[in-house]
Amino acid sequence: MQNESQLIKARKEKLQKLIEMGVNPYPAKAKRTNLIADILAESEKFIKEEKGVVLVGRIRSLRKMGKVSFFHLEDKSGKIQIYIRRDDVGENNYTIFKQCDLGDFVNVFGKVFYTQTGELSIHTEKFCFLTKSIRPLPVVKEIEEEGKKVFYDQFVDKELRYRKRYLDLLLNPEVKETFITRSKIIKMMREFLDNKDFIEVETPILQPQYGGAEAQPFITKHNKLDMDLYLRIADELYLKRLIIGGFEKVYEVCKDFRNEGMDRMHNPEFTMIELYQAYADYNDIMNLVEEMLTEIAKEISGGLQFEYDGAQIDMTKPWKRASIISLIKEYANIDIEKMTLEEMIDFCKQNEIELEIKTYGKIIDEIFKHFVEPNLIQPIFVTDYPKEISPLAKSKPDNPDIVERFEIFISGLEIGNAFTELNDPIDQRARLENQTEKRKLGDLSANEVDEDFLEAMEYGMPPTGGLGLGVDRIVMLFTNSHSIKDVIFFPQMRSV
RNA sequence: GGGCCAGUAACUCAGUCGGUAGAGUAUCGCCCUUUUAAGGCGAGAGUCGAAGGUUCGAAUCCUUUCUGGCUCACCA
C-alpha cells in the first residue's frame, strides 16, 4: 500500500534523523520512579515537595507547537499530560523531541505542576526515547464532556479489532477491562476450588483417542511415532482416570477443541473448567456451582443482580431446579411421560419442529430447545435428561431411561453441564458401544469405544459427581459481552 | 448452510440520475513559549475488497467471488 508507506516513510525518516543526531531510538534501559497513578493520587504532595519524578509510557496524544508542546503519556496505571518547553530542555533536545509520534515510548524526567487550564501535568526537564514506532496507530480522539468520555473516529471495525487485538486493546479501553475481568474470574474459580481441597491437574491435550463429549475433533499427527493424535474435545475421561487412581477432588482449567461450527457462542478452541468429586452426586455439584458462581457475581458485579443482553439477571440463591420433563409440561403444555413416541412425533410435526433422529431422547431434547430454552433467562438447573443423549451419566434409581444430569442456563446461555458419573463398567461399555453404532450410522459426533478408559473403570470408580463449565460463556455473562469473540483475545478467523 | 447488511485514504465516514473520487482527523512544510478533538496557511496521499459483464463511460447497474457483522438452522 503506497499511502501507508508514505506515513511509515515519514516515521522512518525521523528514526534516521535520531540516529544521525546520536540518539539511540531503542535503548535497552528505562528508568522509572513512579507510576502515573501515584502522581494522580497524591498530586498535592508531589507539587509541594517539588520532587523530581521519572515516568515511562507511551505517547497517546500529541500537541506540538513552535517552542512548546504537550502530550499525554500512558503507562499501565493511567495517563498524565506532559509539558515540554524548548528553553527548558535546550534546542538540541527539543529537536529530538520533535521526532516523536503518537505511539512512541518515552522516558520523562520532570516535576509535577498544574497548567493554566488546571490540568495536572509534568514539567519536563529531561526527555529520552525508549522506542520509536514506525507504523501509525489509528487516530482516535478522546475528550471529556460533563464527566463522560466522548470519542471521535473510534476504532470500530470489528474485523480489524479481532484480527489486530493489540490495537483494539490500545484504542478501546473497555476491551482491556473485559479481559482483566476474565482473568479475575478464572483466578476466583481456582481459589474457590483450592479452598475446597480440590487439586488442579493437567491431562493430555494430544490424545490417541478422543471422548467425553459429542463433537468432531481436530486431527494431528506425531511424526516419529507415526500416529494420528486428536486435540481433546473434553477432559472427562482422563479426569475420571485420576478419580480411579485415588484422587478425590480434581479440576482442570482446560482448552478444548471442537471441529464444528462457529457463531457468537462457539469458538473452535475454548476454555472449560472440569471438576470431579468422589462420593458426590449431581445434587452436591449443583450446590457447589451455585455457591461458586454467586461468589463470583458478588465480587465481579458487586452484587447478585446485573444486566446481560438487556435483561436483569438475579443470581440470588437458591436457583430454580426443574426436570426437563416438568419444564416441557410448563412451557409446551404437554406431559411427555404419558405420550407414546408416535404422539410425540405428531406433536413436533404440528409445531414445525424438524426431527432428524426420531428417538425418545432426541425428541425430548428438540421439544425442550424449541419451547423451553428461549424462556430460561434467570439461573436455572435443568435436570434429569434422557439416558440416550447422556452416555456417561448414571441412571435415576427409579427410571432407567432418565439420568442424573443437569445443565445450567443463564440468560439463554448454556454455561454448564454435569452429572452423577456412571461408574458401572458393564453399563458404561454398553453405552459406549451404542455410541459406536451411532457412528457407524453416520453420526460423526459419536465416539469410538475407549478400551483403556473402560478397563480403568473395571478396577472400580467410586460414586462421583462431575461438572464442565463454559468459562468463556461465564465471562460473557459477567462482562455483558454479546459474542464469545469479545472474551477471547484472538478468536479464530479465516485467513485473508 | 439460508436470509439481511457492510467493505471507498492510516482512522471515521460522504459520494445524488452511471460522467474517471470528497470531508474531518492523521501525515508533510511554514507560523505559533501553558495547549487539550490546540489553532492558522499550504501540500501530498486512493487498484473505491477482488474478478468478469453491460456501457462511449462503472465506486455507482448485473453476475460471480472474498472478508466481516447480525440473524435463523445445526452441532456444543
Express each pLDDT in A228-272 by its tens digit. 999 999 999 999 999 999 999 999 999 999 998 888 999 999 999
| pLDDT number for residue A321 | 96
Q: How far is the CA of A156 from the C1' of B55 (A)?
A: 38
- Tell me the average pLDDT of chain A: 92
Enter the C-alpha cell of residue A137.
Answer: 496507530
| pLDDT number for residue A73 | 97
Residue A194 gets which letter from DSSP? H
**What's the whole-number mean pLDDT along residues A378-406?**
93
Residues 359-418 of chain A in contact with strand B via CB under 7 angstroms: 366, 369, 414
Per residue in A267-305, pLDDT (tens digit) is: 999 999 999 999 999 999 999 999 999 999 999 999 999
Third-level CATH fold of A175-319+378-486: BirA Bifunctional Protein; domain 2 (3.30.930)
Say yes or no: Cβ of A231 under 7 A from any atom of strand B: no
Reported ipTM: 0.90
Residue nearest to nucleotide B44 (CA to C1'): A6
CA A267 to chain centre: 11
Buried-state track A421-444, b at ≥16 Cβ within 10 A, e below 16: bbbebebbeebbeebeebeeeeee
Q: Is A265 helix (H, G, I), strand (E, B) or coil?
A: coil
| pLDDT number for residue A353 | 81
Enter the C-alpha cell of residue A62.
Answer: 500529541
Per residue in A20-71, pLDDT (tens digit) is: 999 999 999 999 999 999 999 999 999 999 889 999 999 999 999 989 999 9
Per residue in A87-146, pLDDT (tens digit) is: 999 999 999 999 999 999 999 999 999 999 999 999 999 999 999 999 999 988 888 777
Residue A339 CB coordination number (10 Å): 14
Q: What is the nearest nucleotide to A492, using C1' and CA?
A: B68
A2 pLDDT higher than 50: no
Residue nearest to nucleotide B7 (CA to C1'): A157
Enter the C-alpha cell of residue A89.
Answer: 530542555
**What's the whole-number mean pLDDT along residues A375-403?**
93
Query: What is the domain partition of chain A in residue ranges?
Result: 2-137, 175-319+378-486
Buried-state track A98-117, b at ≥16 Cβ within 10 A, e below 16: ebbbbbbbbbbbbbbeeeee
**What's the whole-number mean pLDDT along residues A327-339?**
90
The CA distance from A101 to A132, in Å, is: 8
Residue A256 CB coordination number (10 Å): 23
Instruction: Give yes or no for a contact between A264 and A484, defined as CB atoms under 8 angstroms apart.
Output: yes
A440 pLDDT higher than 90: no
Residues 69-108 of chain A in contact with strand B via CB under 7 angstroms: 70, 81, 83, 85-87, 101-102
Whether A2-137 and A175-319+378-486 share one fold: the answer is: no
Say yes or no: Cβ of A140 under 7 A from any atom of strand B: yes
Q: Which of A10, A197, A37, A191 is nearest to A99 (CA)?
A: A10
- Indicate the residue type of A386: P
Residue A138 gets which letter from DSSP? P
| pLDDT number for residue A107 | 96
Tell me yes or no: is domain A2-137 CATH 2.40.50.140: yes
Enter the C-alpha cell of residue A478.
Answer: 459477567
Partnered with residue A263 across adjacent β-strands are A266
- Report CA Rg, chain A: 29
Q: Which tops the pLDDT comparison, A437 or A45?
A: A45
The CA distance from A496 to A493, in Å, is: 9
CA A63 to chain centre: 38
**What's the whole-number mean pLDDT along residues A465-476?**
96
Which strand (E) or helix (H) includes residue A433? helix A425-440
Least confident of A1-5, A328-332, A480-484: A1-5
